[in-house]
Structure 1
Amino acid sequence: MKTIKRMMDHMYWADERILESLEDCETKNKDLLKLVRHVAVAERVWLSRLQGKGSAEYTLWEETDDLTAIRTMFEENAEEYRVYIEGLEESELDEIIDYMNQSGVPFRTSVRDILLQVLLHGQYHRGQINRILRSESAEPAQVDYITFARL
């Protein structure tokens, strides 16, 4: 449980670093903003599933130019994940969650694997976001775990 909590803390930190980089460069790149929004919405979708709620209301890939709304979603996600994780016992990590994906296909996955999906999915896309920032001659965000661990 300690490792998952630490990794979640890294996710909140890395999401914030990415947002700061995007705000600093004042990007209007629609593909980049769509990707950042996707990360925030995916975090929300998985959280809804963990909470036993549906996720059909969320659209994973949608264009936006509103970085403020994306920031708000990340902040709300972080707060709700903190509450969820604090209420989670080690023994609950292997509980199975029944849910449907965005296409309505049913799945069963452990809490542990869902949390790992959230963590790894975000890090994958943060790498893509940094690549796009670099291609626009903007400063990419340093989001490596080791950088976070050294703080």
Structure 2
Amino acid sequence: MKTIKCMMDHLYWADERIIDALEGSNTKNNDLLKLVRHVAVAERVWLSRLQGKGSAQYSLWEDAEDLTVIRTMFKENIEQYRVYIEGLEESALEVMIDYANQSGVSYRTSVRDILLQVLLHGQYHRGQINRALRIESADPVQVDYITFARL
């Protein structure tokens, strides 16, 4: 649990840094805004599944124009994930969760694997966002775990 909690703290930190970088870049690149919104919504989708709720109401790939709305989504995700993680016992990591994906296909996945998906998915897309910022001649932001660990 200690490792997952630490990695989740990194996720919260990295999400905030990537939003800060996007705001600082003043980018108008709709694909970038759509991608960062996708990260926030995907985190919310997985949390809903972990909480035993459906996720059909969430659209993973909508356009986004307002980083303030996305920042709010990230803040809400942080609050809800912290509550969820704090109440989670080590043994609960092996509990299997039944859920349907956004296309309605049913799956069964362990809590551990869902949390790892959340952690790795965001890191993947933050890398894509940083690359796009660099291409636009904007400053990418350091979001590597080791940078977080050194704080």
TM-score (norm 1): 0.99
How many residues align? The count is 151
State the partner residue of 1:46: 46
SS in 1 for 2:98: strand
Unpaired runs of 5+ residues, structure 2, are: none
Cα offset, 1:26, TM superposition: 1.3
Unpaired runs of 5+ residues, structure 1, are: none
Cα offset, 1:129, TM superposition: 0.4
Say yes or no: does 1:140 pair with 2:140.
yes
Say yes or no: does 1:84 pair with 2:76.
no
Task: Tell me which stretches of 4 or more aligned residues in structure 1 moved more than 2 Å.
Answer: none
Q: Please, what is the CA RMSD of the aligned residues?
A: 0.4
TM-score (norm 2): 0.99
Cα offset, 1:64, TM superposition: 1.1
User: Which amino acid in 1 is paired with 2:100?
Assistant: M
SS in 2 for 1:92: helix
Query: What do the CA deviations read for 1:21-78 (whole angstroms, capped 9, x no partner)?
Result: 0111111110000000000000000000000000000000011111100000000001
How much identity, in percent, do the aligned residues show? 81
State the partner residue of 1:110: 110
Matches within 5 A, 1:122-133: 122-133=122-133
- Structure 2 Cα separation of the partners of residues 8 and 28 of structure 1: 29
- Structure 1 Cα separation of the partners of residues 13 and 120 of structure 2: 14
